[in-house]
Structure 1
Amino acid sequence: MLVLACVLALIYPLTTNVALAVFLGWKLLFSSIVQAATLIGRSKTPDFWLQLISAAMSAIVGFVLLRNPACRDCRKRYVRTTPEASSNHRAITEVRSKFG
């Protein structure tokens, strides 16, 4: 099962990146809500402000990941500008043509 997931990630890298961005975004957003909820009424705990800042930063990063996980302009810019991306694209196209 893991091998199949790795092969699919190699064949469809952009879809994999979007799926991971959405998953990590929701995970960070949910964990920041839980962390902030556990801090309610516990202002005497050690490092209260550090934990609160950590929860806020997790929420911000989660929101940024969920805001636009499939940035089409970013993908176009990556494929156009890096030689690694064009060679990877050619290799992926060859693999797709062989298997389907």
Structure 2
Amino acid sequence: MDNRINEIRRIIRALRVSMREAEAIMHEQINRDEDCSFVAGEVMKMRTVMSGLVQERAALGDTDPIVVASLFVPRRRPMPSRVGVEKRSLVPPRKMARA
């Protein structure tokens, strides 16, 4: 039974990393206005597999947390500083009439 629990934990760790990578790819595709339906479908399949593994793991009595070191994937780039940005006018400036 311990071998099966260890195997499930290993699969869950690998699946988490794969899901994060796929989500990062999906977010990049969204930012480029590309179709991400294939990757989104794959993420949903991975979530279904993950759910089954978690249920099996709980049924075997394993409740210890599974730590994955590389889970953090930044979702957004930091915004550039707006210091020194002038407010632009939508109407061009009037030219002075010469007399």
> What TM bracket, shorter-length normalisation?
0.3 to 0.5
Which protein is bigger by CA-based radius of gyration? 2
TM-score by length of 2: 0.47
